[in-house]
Structure 1
Amino acid sequence: MLHLHIVSWVAALILFFAAYENFSDRLGPSKYFKPLHMLLRLFLLLALVSGGYIFFQAMDNNAALYGIKFILGLLTLGLIEMTLARKRKKKSSRNFFYLTILLALITFALGAYLPLGPISALFN
């Protein structure tokens, strides 16, 4: 399940960048925006389900850190949707974009630090 989670958030991050760049402030959405956004939602759902599974699986060790990571992950997913919604409504979305990237990096760093993370697995 951990591999599904990592693949889903990597794919979601790539699709987020692609969807964000396929919406022009002046011209509106390209023909690729809607399929990219729907595919992004699919990978966000996969990341949410696999992250929830990992969270409940790892409740016995470092439950507080896993809880913090789960909340940060939910906030990141929400910010991804809010950023694209603001972009679609032609409102200022650049600050949301930077906040999303910052929160995603913090979430990824915390996930890599935790015992089930890829960095911890290298040293076990």
Structure 2
Amino acid sequence: MLHLHILSWILAIILFFAAYQNFSDRQGPSQYFKPLHMVLRVFLLLTLISGGVVFFQTMGGGMAAQYGIKFLLGLITIGLMEMTLAKKKKKKPSRTFFYLVIFFALLTIGMGIWLPMGPISAMFN
């Protein structure tokens, strides 16, 4: 399940950047914006479900609080992605939310790498 989770959030980040770039402030959305946004939502849902499964698999361990914080950071990142695209769609300033998405995504990824089930931690166990 961890591999599905990693694949889904990588694709979600790529789709988020693609959808964000396919909406011009002057001309509005391109023809690819809506399909990209819909596929992004599918991958965000897949990320949320697979992250929940990974979270509940680790509940018995001694690092449940850290996994809970990572789960919360992931929810914040997903929410900020949706809010950024919604603000962009309404032609309101969205640059601050864009930078917040990058910041929280890096925090979430960093914490996921640091935790024992992370890909780098797993190599040394």
The two structures share one fold, judged by TM-score above 0.5: yes
| 1:56 Cα offset (Å) | 0.4
Structure-to-structure mapping, 1:69-84, within 5 angstroms: 69-84=70-85
Aligned with 1:116: secondary structure? Answer: coil
| 1:71 Cα offset (Å) | 0.4
The C-alpha deviation readout for 1:13-32, integer Å capped at 9, x for no partner, is 00000000000000000000
- Show the counterpart of 2:25: 25
* TM-score of the superposed pair, with normalisation by structure 2: 0.98
* TM-score of the superposed pair, with normalisation by structure 1: 0.99
The C-alpha deviation readout for 1:37-61, integer Å capped at 9, x for no partner, is 0000000000000000000000122
Q: 1: CA distance between counterparts of 2:46 and 2:122? A: 22
Structure-to-structure mapping, 1:86-97, within 5 angstroms: 86-97=87-98
Q: 2: CA distance between counterparts of 1:37 and 1:13? A: 12
Q: 1: CA distance between counterparts of 2:113 and 2:40? A: 22
The C-alpha deviation readout for 1:77-123, integer Å capped at 9, x for no partner, is 00000000000000000000000000000000000111111010110
Q: 1: CA distance between counterparts of 2:31 and 2:89? A: 13
Q: 1: CA distance between counterparts of 2:22 and 2:57? A: 37
**Paired residue total:** 124
Amino acid at match of 2:18: A
Q: 1: CA distance between counterparts of 2:92 and 2:65? A: 36
Q: 1: CA distance between counterparts of 2:34 and 2:41? A: 11
Amino acid at match of 1:110: M
- Show the counterpart of 2:8: 8
Stretches of structure 2 lacking an aligned partner (at least 5 in a row): none
Amino acid at match of 2:103: L
- Show the counterpart of 2:65: 64
- Show the counterpart of 1:114: 115
Q: 2: CA distance between counterparts of 1:112 and 1:119? A: 6
